[in-house]
Structure 1
Amino acid sequence: MTLTLLLPAFLPFLSTPSTSRRGGFRRRLLPCIACAKGAPSRNPDDYHATLRALNTRGRTPRKSLGQHYMLNNEINEQLVASSSVEEGDLVLEIGPGTGSLTNVLINAGVTVLAIEKDPHMASLVNERFAGNDKLKVLQEDFVKCHIRSHMSSLLASMKPSRKSRYAKVVSNIPFNISTDVVKQVLPMGDIFSEVVLLLQEETANRLSVLSPGTSEYRPINVFVNFYSVPEYIANVPRSNFFPQPKVDAAIVRFKLKQAAEYPPVTSTKSFFSMVKSAFNGKRKMLRKSLQHLNTAVDIENALVGIGLPSNSRPEDLTMDDFVQLHNMITPG
């Protein structure tokens, strides 16, 4: 498929900066790239350059890999700015695609470890930055790779010249692995200080804004707040992507906690097992869904002891409530 064929088929709509409200919080909308016919290209990594890079490989985005390429370099710059990266930092990028975000990171003076599952894209990024010692590309499936080992080795080799002992994650990740990525990197506060991700907007809202008492409240919300402090940064309209997805995206920043800052549970394994059990019986009261851990009476007494009704359900509890409940009803 040629560039001239691709351009008309995926021409994004032009939009202007605005704000809107959804779900009771204020969203800041980033500007969509201006790529109407005759409009000048704003950046070497914008709409036309991204499609040209794909055409050099004869590639079209693969739905099975969740590939949606960023067409607006201003959003790449927003991602990098949101992470407060400094020259000499080490950054993990998941799914570099054509390397547009990679380019912004390298220009910021950081060293990038890019994990790319698609061998064609891994080869493209390797060729694009050939000879640049600020980039290492691994052609691996992030969900299956040993990221702690990779990052620890790189951090150790860079230690003498780095200002911070921690790395950061800055990525426009495939939407279909969002939860897997969050579960893998958030408990790594000993490796990363911040994680900045471009996520599907619904996922971004659920992970950073959703509070107890809502029907969408899930164990992942407890998990996120256990290991990090999440912050919704900005909405990104769907027209900034190729191909255009059916939903908007959003930038979310997670400031990771160190182990000493984790809530004081007697065992993280038993804590998250309890939380999962609680939500498996989401329509049930906790005194029923957690009876495999303790008696209904003891669970009721524990709930009342932390200031909650004895008939509470899982969606009623904050992360701190779950921590207190766990420590009261499970063996020490």
Structure 2
Amino acid sequence: MRRKGQHFLVDGAIIDCIVDGAKLSRKDVVLEIGPGTGNLTEALAARAGRVYAVEVDPELAGELEGRFSNVEVICKDVLRLDLPDYNKVVSNLPYQISSKITLRLLQRPFDLAVLMYQREFVKRLTALPGSRAYGRLSINAAYYSSVELLCSVPRTAFKPVPNVDSAVVRLRPNLDRPPVDQGAFEELTRTLFTMRRKKSGKALAALAPGAVELADPAVMEKRPEELTLDEVVGLANALSGALSRTHS
């Protein structure tokens, strides 16, 4: 069975890796995105107190409905959904929305997340400054969380077999992140990497010319791919300060 480009996880060892990594108890409320045929859902339901399974495909959602007493199936597009309250996210994410949903999840409160991604996506998620894969996703992941690789996933773990390799990671919230205006941080990181070959000061000036006066000149000379997290936070705070002046 394959719908909407889905590849269904069928390898029991990988399911165990995911569920064990989530450290579930009956106190946990879990969000699962893209449950598909419910192989992972079944393992989550056996350990968690409650599971919200968000499935966009009506037929797949219908097949899951009523199978598990502690699972609520939500048949909606997760990107358009007002997400329910949960403390953990455990999912084999639909790869085509990995970036959008990850950025959204990172900005919400959570205790722990165990997520499967395409391996190339994991490289972007964990990339360091100066590397080709470093970008908006890397900065957001570093700001909001710590990322740990749990296991590599062979293509044969899915049916039908995909053309890409996968990996499972565990994310824990970064409780020591430096203070920053969230709106300025989001706007800056989005803009920086649409201008990644230019100096960072160009992106800052494009958003608010007055921010250039408040930012570190040495940092503004760097290209976005060279910036550390602390330097991005500094630029975001300069942007926030400039916008506050404009609106005061």
The answer, yes or no, to whether TM exceeds 0.5 is: yes
Q: Does 1:243 align with 2:157?
A: no
Spell out, residue by residue over 1:175-216, the C-alpha distance to the aligned partner (whole angstroms, 9 max, x if none).
111112202211111xx2111111111111211x21110122
In structure 2, what is the equivalent of residue 205 of structure 1? 123
Q: For the residues of structure 1 that align with 2:63 and 2:154, how far apart are their CA atoms? A: 27
Structure 2 residue aligned with 1:121: 60
* Cα RMSD (Å): 2.1
Matched, 1:315 2:225: yes
1:282 aligns with 196
Tell me what 2:101 maps to: 181
The runs of at least 4 aligned residues of structure 1 exceeding 6 Å deviation read none
In the alignment, is the contact (CA less than 8 A) between 1:217 and 1:315 conserved in 2?
yes
Q: Which of 260, 263, 270 in structure 1 is aligned with 2:178?
A: 263
Task: Report how far residue 238 of structure 1 moved.
Answer: 0.9
Note if contact 2:34-2:92 (Cα within 8 Å) is conserved in structure 1: yes
* 2:76 aligned residue: 140
Equivalent pair of 1:66/1:176 in contact (CA under 8 Å):
no
Unaligned runs of 5+ in 2: none
SS at structure 1 position matched to 2:31: strand
- Asked if 1:79 is matched to 2:18, the reply is yes
Please state how far the C-alpha of 1:78 moved relative to its aligned partner.
0.8
Contact residue 211 and residue 238 of structure 2 kept, 8 A: no
Quick check: 2:117–2:167 contact (8 Å CA) kept in 1? yes
Residues 1:142 and 1:287: Cα distance change in structure 2 (over 3 Å): closer
State the number of aligned residues. Answer: 241
Query: 1:102 deviation in Å?
Result: 1.1
CA 1:313–1:104: 2 relative to 1, 3 Å? same
Q: Does the aligned pair in 1 maintain the 2:143–2:229 contact within 8 Å?
A: yes
CA distance in 2, matches of 1:296, 1:123: 52
Structure 1 gap segments, 5+ residues each: 1-59, 152-165
Q: Paired residue for 2:89, among 161, 169, 179? A: 169
CA 97–326 in structure 1, closer or farther in 2 if over 3 Å, else same: closer
Q: Deviations over 1:30-70 (max 9, x none)?
A: xxxxxxxxxxxxxxxxxxxxxxxxxxxxxx302xx331101
Structure 2 distance, partners of 1:173, 1:279, is 24
CA contact (8 A) 2:65 2:73 kept: yes
C-alpha contact (below 8 Å) 2:184/2:237 kept by paired residues: no
Distance 1:124 1:318, change over 3 A: same
- Where in structure 2 are the equivalents of 1:6-45 lying within 5 Å? none
One-letter code aligned to 1:302: D
Q: What letter is aligned with 1:75? A: I
Larger Rg: 1
What CA distance in whole angstroms lies between the structure 2 residues aligned with 1:303 and 1:251? 39
